[in-house]
Structure 1
Amino acid sequence: MKCGATSMAATTLHQAVGPLQSCRNNGTSGLFPDYGHVSLRSVSKGFKVDVGLLRGGSFCSKKRSTCVIQASAPQATVFGSASAPSSTATGDSKKKTSEAALILIRHGESMWNEKNVFTGCVDVPLTTKGVEEAIEAGKRISNIPVDMIYTSALIRAQMTAMLAMTQHRRKKVPTIIHEESEQAGEWSQIFSEETNKQCIPVVTAWQLNERMYGELQGLNKQETADRYGKEQVHEWRRSYDIPPPNGESLEMCAERAVAYFKEHIEPELAVGKNIMIAAHGNSLRSIIMYLDKLTSQEVISLELATGIPMLYIFKEGRFIRRGSPPAPTEAGVYAYTKTLAQYRQKLDDMFQGLLSDEVDLICLLETSFSGKYCQIDTQLLL
């Protein structure tokens, strides 16, 4: 093994729990004095790291030194290091960001989705699969900042939002804001300022509810087609302005959902707040129609899978669609914008030293090796 193969670098491994960072300055002594520090970010229970050290100079000093680490795992994601804002910058760091993240998530599979029943505004919970979808959605957005959450008034959307946030890297607690009565608001107050800082407000709004399917609610979709005819049911489901009996058309659903978005959610984005919306197929299609400026013909062919988040960036009054954030083993979202990259760097700084406090990942070299290659196997137990 040659000296050039042992450059001071650490492969960034992003697993489901989220990357953690530990940095150590190796001063000017060592084999490669030009590298002031390296970063090791890795989490995975039972993950094995092979550490190779080559004596061609000394990594040792009176200070702690970081060994050369090469790690691999199936589908491990490699990120380039994000540039942190300069500590000497003035003004810019104090300004509100000109862009914000908007995450849209359709709820996970509900018990009536599983039974192929028209659900509409009937309040049914998630299935086991739906719970798993919500958790997976949370992993996909775990590194995207979230300052506020909006959900519909229906439990399947609220469950999805809550479960997704259990996977978020910041570990803040989503707390539902109760404004249905003065007493409800008083009784749900948080009186600890410190605790309040660790919470994310969750606003529920009936305007984000699923389209109301009227007399179709509770009917099996196949039985409905047999009763009313396949073409008639398809017209109710996929036309823009034709409602089912005593129900809402997509146009009617869009009127309430988009109006609420414009009045309540868009102003929060405009001041730099990062928002997640957990809602339903038709209310989210309506919002996407507004964001992407789709026609009524384009929106009726739009399909949204359960539990798959969609990311938009709000910048200078425009919505920029970034698609679905990748799973934890796929490429990260930080290339989307500079702000997200800096957000990640900020989180990394928060976790600096955490690994070394919890687990001894740093190989300390206190003795010199006399020119021979040393192979070390280290087990990470996080």
Structure 2
Amino acid sequence: MPKLALVRHGQSEWNLQNRFTGWWDADLTEKGEAEAKKSGELLKACDADFRAAFTSVQTRAIRTLWLALTEMGRVWLPVTKHWRLNERHYGGLTGLDKAETAAKHGDDQVHIWRRSYDIPPPPLEAGSEFDLASDPRYKGIDIPNTESLKLTLERVLPYWEEAITPVLKSGTDVVIAAHGNSLRALVKHLFDVADESITGIEIPTGNPLYIELDDNLKPISVRYLDADRGKPLPELP
């Protein structure tokens, strides 16, 4: 039975500044680096034999994985990076201070943009300072200009099924270092979480969500490796 660890990246510079980040490439803070190392310590101590790792193409997730693998003594693991594991695109909210945005648009509207399942924020304008059209890592990719969690799931799921599922079905234990919303999308899929309930699932930074799967990749157990920093867990399907 394979094991799967979902690791949300450590605190980023824009997390610290309380800004909407999305696809923008904010790096880890010193605290974020410490959280990434702690996640590696926790993963090393668990009963899995991790043999493959996946991450996004965003620096904060990649560096979280590097630091964790270093602590695990597993820098030799094959690592696959893909943009489909990127954070949800926050559209026109990208770069904005969350508190200032709430003051301007109202707490209720910002809550809808942040936590609703299928209502995306306003789109990012082409040519904006946060437009990633010229970023070489996205060459040839149809970059979204905004995403809801539903849209995030729709672009994460094909990669899960095509690239990650076969590895798990071979019996290999896998670690995925990604982002709050791309990981929530996977949790929704794995645990069959209802649309109205997924907003209550939040994965803390640097605290691996450890899932044991059966041979059909159905979860049979789930826990946070650092129980003291855990959030509400999804119910087993």
Q: What band does the TM-score fall into relative to the shorter chain?
A: 0.7 to 0.9
- Is residue 91 of structure 2 the alignment partner of residue 214 of structure 1? yes
Per-residue CA distance 1:224-274 (angstroms, 9 max, x = gap): 111222211111111111000011111000111122112210111000111
- Using the TM superposition, give the Cα deviation of residue 314 of structure 1 relative to its aligned residue in structure 2, in angstroms: 2.0
- Structure 2 counterparts to residues 46-125 of structure 1, below 5 A: 99-125=1-27
Aligned to 2:50, the other structure's residue is in SS state coil
Q: Which amino acid aligns with 2:115?
A: R
Partner AA of 2:160 in structure 1:
F
CA distance in 2: counterparts of 1:150 and 1:316, whole angstroms: 20
Residue correspondence of structure 1 range 257-268 to structure 2 within 5 A: 257-268=156-167
- Looking at structure 2, the residues matched to 129 and 219 of structure 1 have their Cα atoms a distance apart, in angstroms, of 22
**TM superposition shift of 1:326:** 4.3
Residue from 185, 194, 216 that aligns with 1:295: 194
Return the alpha-carbon distance in structure 1 between the equivalents of residues 65 and 219 of structure 2: 22
Name the counterpart of 2:151: 252
Secondary structure at 2:187's aligned position in 1? Answer: helix
Question: Residue in 1 aligned with 2:117?
Answer: 240
Q: Deviations over 1:346-365 (max 9, x none)?
A: xxxxxxxxxxxxxxxxxxxx
Contact 2:208 2:226 in 1 (8 A): no
Q: Secondary structure of the equivalent of 1:167?
A: helix
Aligned counterparts of 2:180 and 2:221: Cα–Cα separation in 1: 18
Q: Residue 230 of structure 1 aligns with which residue?
A: 107
Q: Give yes or no for the alignment of 1:159 onto 2:63.
A: yes
Aligned alpha-carbon RMSD (Å): 1.2
Structure 2 CA distance, aligned partners of 1:202 and 1:122?
22
CA-CA distance at 1:297 after TM superposition: 0.8
AA paired with 1:321? S
Q: Provide the C-alpha distance between the structure 1 equivalents of 2:182 and 2:199, rounded to a whole number of angstroms.
A: 12
Aligned position for 1:40: none
**Structure 1 residue matching 2:225: 3-state secondary structure:** coil
Structure 2 distance, partners of 1:234, 1:321, is 31
Between the aligned partners of 2:209 and 2:107, the Cα distance in structure 1 is 31
Matched, 1:321 2:221: yes
The amino acid that maps onto 2:176 is I
Q: Which amino acid aligns with 1:309?
A: P
Contact preservation (8 Å) 2:6, 2:175? yes
Secondary structure, counterpart of 2:44 in structure 1: coil
SS in structure 1 of the partner of residue 219 of structure 2: strand
User: Partner of 1:320: helix, strand, or coil?
Assistant: strand
| Structure 1 unaligned spans of 5+ | 1-98, 174-198, 328-382
CA distance in 1, matches of 2:224, 2:117: 25
Aligned partner of 2:51 among 140, 147, 153: 147
Match of 1:200 among 60, 77, 98: 77
Larger Rg: 1 or 2? 1
Q: Deviations along 1:314-355, whole A, 9 cap, x unmatched?
A: 22202223201248xxxxxxxxxxxxxxxxxxxxxxxxxxxx
Query: Which 4+ stretches in 1 moved above 3 angstroms?
Result: none
Counterpart check, 1:305 vs 2:207: no
Aligned to 1:283: 182
How many residue pairs match? The answer is: 202
Whichever structure has more helix as a proportion of its residues is 2
Q: Within 2, Cα distance between the matches of 1:142 and 1:298?
A: 32
Kindly report which structure 2 residues correspond to 1:337-348, keeping only aligned pairs within 5 A, or say none: none
What secondary structure sits across from 2:164 in the alignment?
helix
The answer to whether the Cα contact below 8 Å between 2:23 and 2:87 also exists between their aligned partners in 1 is yes
- Partners in 2 of 1:154 and 1:321 — Cα distance? 29
Identity of aligned residues (%): 43
> Partners in 2 of 1:321 and 1:153 — Cα distance?
29
TM-score (norm 1): 0.52
**In the TM superposition, what are the counterparts of 1:167-186 in structure 2 within 5 Å?**
167-168=71-72, 171-173=73-75
